[in-house]
Amino acid sequence: MSRNLPYSRAERVAKNLYQIVAEYIYKNIDDERLRGVQITSTRMTNDLGIARIYFYIDGGKDKKDAAKAAFEEIKPEIRYNVGKELILRTVPKLEFHMDDGVENAERIETILNTLKH
């Protein structure tokens, strides 16, 4: 029963994981260090064993480090919720990473705007 799906199972699971994690954080986490945090993307390893969750928060290095520490503290809670929501044999290990792409895009936009004037 081979289906010609436009993307892999890991990508489909990552898409579902994105929705689960973003919604859970928005509705259930009341940690001052995570105010304004945005989940930007999720990626799964092909064996579905590791989920990499990328986030962005505006602010300086201290604020970003505090957000990373907060995610490390609530990781078991989020993983438990993922296990309830995703139908997988094993719940993937969660890794939280800062997404530098947003900051890089803003920096490039600033440079381009200065070149225009």
Sign, CA torsion 58/40/26/97: negative
Report the CATH fold assignment for 9-116: GMP Synthetase; Chain A, domain 3 (3.30.300)
Structure tokens, 4: 């010609």
Q: What is the pLDDT of residue 108?
A: 77
Q: What is the pLDDT of residue 25?
A: 94
pLDDT in tens, the chain (117 residues): 456 666 789 999 999 999 999 999 999 999 999 999 999 999 999 999 999 999 999 888 899 999 999 999 999 999 999 999 998 899 999 999 998 776 767 777 778 777 776
Contact 44, 14 (CB under 8 A): yes
Bridge partners of 56, per DSSP, are 38
Q: What is the pLDDT of residue 1?
A: 47
Q: What is the pLDDT of residue 56?
A: 92
CB neighbourhood size of 106 (10 A): 11
